[in-house]
Structure 1
């Protein structure tokens, strides 16, 4: 005797295991956190500029005996002068990159300025360097001179993009 039985299909387990998905999401979160941290621009601290001597204009006026100007031009050309160009403390001269060039020059001038400042009663004041890259100079030269500032320990410097007509003539003549 045959009994009619209905064949019932088995119900499948409809639960999805999300263990692998959680692992992948944690890996992706870590990857994006690391990638974001590595993509941040690296900066060099230029100093905070809060070392003035007071609100009086005479007190904060720059002393041309403490100012060195560095003109950067194409083909790794660099000209330095101290003071004002029309009445220089040190005449303009061409200097080369490296430890026997600009680094030696910066150390000598910084030492002289510290001695000059000590005579004025402020021995902690060193040289202030004004860096003026021309439109023809390359980014590597600017980075090199900033590296020299860091190596020599000179922390009072500024980057200026304006050339006086006399400075432009000086670069064209050399």
Structure 2
């Protein structure tokens, strides 16, 4: 609240003297209280950023493993130094080893174009989006590359993909 200091009683002073200017003093205590109340109110009513998680679907224990045809699958290998390699199919036939090709995370002529082309071929051949992408990361692969390839799955609308343990044969393809 504002106050005016009036000083002592001035009844016995001389005539003709100047009037004294009175000083004002503003008490800031209520303003500080109001500030803290507003800060508390906004802290309690503001919705904090909720953590975003990705859904992870695990197969049931009683469910038999599904077989995927080579014409519907694409295997992506992640290695050291941001290297990305891929081959079509699963690559489990020792009589017909896969043809491994190298790519990058570039926007043009990169792994995105490979996924788009494979997805279009699967849709043309089977009349529906049955593309299955197997992602195999080497021990020396960056975590950033794993996140980037999973982002590519989301961007390219690949509904079925799996993180699979890398085999010794696949590790040899990366070298």
Q: State the TM bucket, normalised to the shorter chain.
A: 0.5 to 0.7
Q: Give 2:73's match in structure 1, choosing from 67, 73, 90.
A: 67
CA drift of 1:150 comes to: 2.0
Q: Give 2:114's match in structure 1, choosing from 105, 111, 118.
A: 105
Is residue 157 from structure 1 mapped to residue 169 from structure 2 by the alignment? Answer: no
Segments of 5+ residues of structure 2 without an aligned counterpart are: 1-28
Q: Aligned partners of 2:163 and 2:45: how far apart in 1?
A: 34
1:28 is matched with 40
CA drift of 1:112 comes to: 0.8
Segments of 5+ residues of structure 1 without an aligned counterpart are: 1-16, 118-122
- Structure whose residues are more often helix by fraction: 1
Is residue 168 from structure 1 mapped to residue 174 from structure 2 by the alignment? Answer: no
Deviation sequence 1:58-107 (CA, Å, 0-9, x none) = 9x432222111111111110110111324469621111112221111111
Q: Aligned partners of 1:86 and 1:158: how far apart in 2?
A: 16
Is residue 128 from structure 1 mapped to residue 146 from structure 2 by the alignment? Answer: no
2:76 counterpart SS class: strand
The Cα RMSD (Å) is 3.2
Structure 1 pair 89/114, CA: closer, same or farther in 2 (3 Å)? farther
- What is the TM-score normalised by the length of structure 2? 0.64
2:53 counterpart SS class: coil
CA drift of 1:140 comes to: 1.4
Q: Give 1:83's match in structure 2, choosing from 57, 64, 89.
A: 89
Task: Tell me how many residue pairs correspond in the alignment.
Answer: 142
Deviation sequence 1:20-71 (CA, Å, 0-9, x none) = 768746633642664x732x3323456x689xxxx9969x432222111111
